[in-house]
Amino acid sequence: MPVRADAQRNAARVLAAARRAVASTGLDVSYHEIAREAGVGVGTVYRRYPERDQLMAAVLSDILTELIDTAHQALDCDDAWEGFSLLFTSLALRTAQNVGLSGSLDQHGGPAVAQQRHELLDLTRRVIERAQNQGRLRRDLAWQDVLRLTGAPAVQGCVLGLEPDPAHGHHLVLTVLLDGLQTDGAKVA
Amino acid sequence: MPVRADAQRNAARVLAAARRAVASTGLDVSYHEIAREAGVGVGTVYRRYPERDQLMAAVLSDILTELIDTAHQALDCDDAWEGFSLLFTSLALRTAQNVGLSGSLDQHGGPAVAQQRHELLDLTRRVIERAQNQGRLRRDLAWQDVLRLTGAPAVQGCVLGLEPDPAHGHHLVLTVLLDGLQTDGAKVA
DNA sequence: AAACAAACGGACCAGACTTGTCCGTTTCCA
DNA sequence: TGGAAACGGACAAGTCTGGTCCGTTTGTTT
């Protein structure tokens, strides 16, 4: 007995909804919320992912796969700085879209996800160090520190309550950050 | 009949606790949580601030007063860049300590708080424009944009789950941001 | 087309947490 | 030392969460 057509369709819907829900709410999003977002009953979500970790592993793996792909692209760039800013931008954007899951990623997902995470970390380190070796990226920061900076564009809110304007905001912080990360002063000024 | 001594003491405790609680949890922190943090009963908190808006107004006013003070100091600096980085740092730190209340500040607090907010906004604009006029701060950003950047250090979490390390993280993002905001290339490299 | 099982949906239960009240007890001050 | 002001925390009511269960729908097979 093969997988039923509607089951397959709903599986896809649930995963997509889970990604959206996790992105906006965080890893502690409720099953009810995901079900609502997916347009299915809670029962369906629980049937598909009896354990919460299974669901989170699926979501995280989805995200990590995309990023690993980007990291490979970055390493393929001849220009190390171009590669670096590509990966940095992707990481920053992904982090911004997933505020709320930051930090706790290593807690969930089991060995498969841990493996992917490790792979992405390694690729990222290589992209950063290559840019530093080519003299384009400032050397006074460890690669972990550079990585940490990808979180910066995630929040544009300020104590003064300006309207958020996420799209413009992300781009803005990225521009200034990348300018600050370069060794030479080749910026618009 | 003057204010009783214990009442006065508890009032201070509640306000301090509310600031801490709002800082870590956000504006939607529960009264019970605040009471626990303050070491008093819920009744005491409700008696002091029957309306939630009154409490929030008190907290926000407290924060704004500090920042307005810093802004005046910034304007008193002869060196416009020094003044700017002082204020920028304070705003960033305050935002980082109050993740969660970002954006919604204008919703609460009533006219008195709105007035303070307006005052701080005006002072900040002057600090920024002065630095730009002295040729120290890049001109391709509007003062509102610069202000928006103060939110950047608030999050250091990255999709890869590195340990947060707030203290170092804030300093790190600030350094790179300030380097990226300067017009000349006078950085460590 | 009929019949059967897989998959579905959402009502439902229990438990955690929140708002807000109320009253017996404590604490200050005159 | 008497009495009012202030306190604390138990308590009721409502909301949201995790998780189950069963009558109904839907796809597939013959």
- Asked if pLDDT for residue A42 goes beyond 80, the answer is yes
Quote the pLDDT of residue B103.
55
Which residues of chain B (33-92) touch nucleic strand D at CB < 7 A?
39-44, 46-48
Structure confidence at residue A50 as a pLDDT band (50, 70, 90): very high
Question: What residues of B are in contact with residue A107 (Cβ under 8 Å)?
Answer: 161
Q: With bands split at pLDDT 50, 70 and 90, how would you rate the model's confidence at B109?
A: confident
User: What are the structure tokens assigned to A27, written together?
Assistant: 């890893």
Name the average pLDDT for chain A. 88
Q: Where residue B100 falls among pLDDT bands split at 50, 70, 90?
A: low
More confident position, B99 or A8? A8
Q: Quick check: A54 CB within 7 A of strand D?
A: no
Residue B188: the pLDDT is 44
- In this complex, the residue of A145, A155, A178 whose CB is nearest that of residue B102 is A155
A·B CB contacts under 8 A: 173
Closest chain B residue to the Cα of A164, Cα to Cα: B103
DSSP 8-class letter at A6:
H
3-state secondary structure A83-132: HHHHHHHHHHHHHHHCCCCCCHHHHCCHHHHHHHHHHHHHHHHHHHHHHH
A175 touching B, CB under 8 A?
A: yes
CA max distance for chain A: 66
| pLDDT bucket at A85, cuts 50 / 70 / 90 | very high
Minimum CA–CA partner of A157 in chain B: B102
pLDDT (average), residues B127-145: 95
- For the CA atoms of A180, B189, A121, A50, what is the dihedral angle to 10 degrees? -30
B contact residues 38-77, partner A, Cβ 8 Å cutoff? 63, 67
At residue A107, the pLDDT reads 62
For residue A106, what pLDDT is reported? 62
- The predicted model gives B120-143 an average pLDDT of 96
pLDDT at B184 over 70: no
Asked whether residue B10's C-beta has any atom of DNA/RNA strand D within 7 A, the reply is yes
Query: Residue A183: its pLDDT value, please?
Result: 86
**Residues B63-79, mean pLDDT to the nearest whole number:** 96
pLDDT (0 to 100) of residue B104? 56
pLDDT higher than threshold 90 for residue A80:
yes
Residue B30, token pair as written in the block = 């529960």
**Contact between B102 and A159 using a beta-carbon 8 Å cutoff:** yes
Enumerate the residues of chain B whose CB falls inside 8 A of the CB of residue A144.
Answer: 162
The two tokens of residue B171 are 């300093």
Lowest mean pLDDT among A124-128, B3-7, B42-46, B79-83: B3-7
By CA distance, what is B185's nearest residue in A? Answer: A185
Residue B2 has pLDDT above 90, yes or no: no
B43: buried, middle or exposed (CB in 10 Å: 19+, 13-18, 0-12)? exposed
Instruction: List, as one string, the DSSP characters of A115-182.
Output: HHHHHHHHHHHHHHHHHHHTT-B-SSS-HHHHHHGGGGGG----TT-----HHHHHHHHHHHHHHHHB
CB neighbour class for B39 (10 Å; exposed up to 12, middle 13-18, buried from 19): exposed
Mean pLDDT of the residues in chain B? 88
Residue A1, pLDDT above cutoff 70? no
Looking at the complex, does the CB of residue A102 fall below 8 Å from at least one CB of chain B?
A: yes
What's the pLDDT score for residue B172?
A: 85
Q: Are A151 and A95 in contact (CB under 8 A)?
A: yes
Q: What is the pLDDT of residue A188?
A: 44
Residue type, B49: Y
| Of the candidate ranges A6-10, A44-48, B21-25, B96-100, the one whose mean pLDDT is the lowest | B96-100
pLDDT > 80? residue B179: yes
What is the C-alpha separation between A119 and B108, in angstroms, rounded?
A: 46
Residues of A in contact with B124 (CB under 8 A): 160
A90's tokens? 């992707």
- Smallest CA-to-CA distance from A151 within B14, B152, B113, B8 is with B152
Asked if strand C comes closer than 7 Å to A124 Cβ, the answer is no
Q: Does pLDDT of A29 surpass 60?
A: yes
Q: How confident is the model at residue B178 (pLDDT cuts 50, 70, 90)?
A: very high
Contact between B138 and A184 using a beta-carbon 8 Å cutoff: no
The answer to whether B160 contacts chain A (CB < 8 Å) is yes
Task: Answer for the pair B134, B80: CB distance below 8 angstroms, yes or no.
Answer: yes
In this prediction, what percent of chain B has a pLDDT beyond 70? Answer: 87
Q: Which residues pair with B137 in a beta bridge?
A: B182
> For B121, which residue in chain A has the nearest alpha carbon?
A160
Strand C proximal to A4 Cβ, under 7 A: yes
Q: What is the mean pLDDT of residues A152-162?
A: 72
Q: How many CA atoms lie within 13 A of B54 on its CB side?
A: 9
- Please tell me which of A111-120, A140-149, B22-31, B38-47 the model is most confident about, judged by mean pLDDT: B38-47
B52 pLDDT band, cuts 50/70/90, is very high
B25 or B162: which carries more pLDDT confidence?
B25
Greatest mean pLDDT range, A121-125, A170-174, B153-157, B158-162: A121-125
In 10 A of CB A44, how many CB atoms? Answer: 20
